[in-house]
Amino acid sequence: MSEQTYIMIKPDAVASGKIGRIISRFEDTGLVIERMELDTLSAEQAAANYAEHEGKPFYQGLIDYITSGPVVKMVISGPDAVAVCRKLMGVTDPAQAAPGTIRGDFGLTMDANVVHGSDSPDSAKREIGIFFGDLK
C-alpha cells in the first residue's frame, strides 16, 4: 500500500555537500519525493520530533545538533515507503550500518548520522505535521 514517510538530511550531511548523492539514493528506489525544502529547524520543532528521547543523556546534544544548521526536509511516498527508506538508511550507528546504506556510506558517528527517517506510518503523519505544518 502506498504511504508517506518523513525524511530529513541532517546538518552534517548538508554542510559537507552530500545532499545530491543522498537524494539520489531515495530516487533510485522509485519512491516519489512529494515535498522538499531546505530549512533550519526551530527548537520547538526539534523537541517535538525527538520527544521520545527527552531525558536521555544524548538528548540535549541531539537538539543542539539538529538545530545547528540547515537540513533538507522531505515527504517521500510509495509502496512501504517507511520500511523501504529505513532499510536504505541503515541502522542508527553509522559504524554498524552496512556498506551500501546511506548511514554506512556517508556517516561515522551516532551523533551525526546523516539522515532521519520516520519509524512507522503513524510517526510519519506526526512528523510531516511538525515539519510541513504550522509549528515554527
Catalytic residue ranges = 116
116: contact with ligand IDP by CB under 6 A: yes
Rounded CA-CA distance 83/28 in Å is 15
Q: Quickly count: other Cβ atoms within 10 Å of residue 45's Cβ.
A: 21
Q: Is the dihedral of CA 117, 119, 121, 123 positive or negative?
A: negative
113: contact with ligand IDP by CB under 6 A: yes
State the nearest-atom distance from the C-beta of 76 to ligand IDP, in Å. 16
Q: Which does 113 bind (CB under 5 to 8 A by kind): ligand IDP, Mg ion, none?
A: ligand IDP
CA dihedral 61, 53, 88, 94 (to 10 degrees): 40
111: contact with ligand IDP by CB under 6 A: yes
Give the three-class secondary structure for 49. Answer: helix
Rounded CA-CA distance 136/124 in Å is 18
4: contact with ligand IDP by CB under 6 A: no
Give the three-class secondary structure for 75. Answer: strand
83: contact with ligand IDP by CB under 6 A: no
Q: Which does 21 bind (CB under 5 to 8 A by kind): ligand IDP, Mg ion, none?
A: none
* Number of residues engaging ligand IDP in binding (CB under 6 A): 9
48: contact with ligand IDP by CB under 6 A: no
Binding site for Mg ion (CB under 5 A): 119
Which positions touch ligand IDP (CB under 6 A)?
53, 58, 62, 92, 110-111, 113, 116, 119
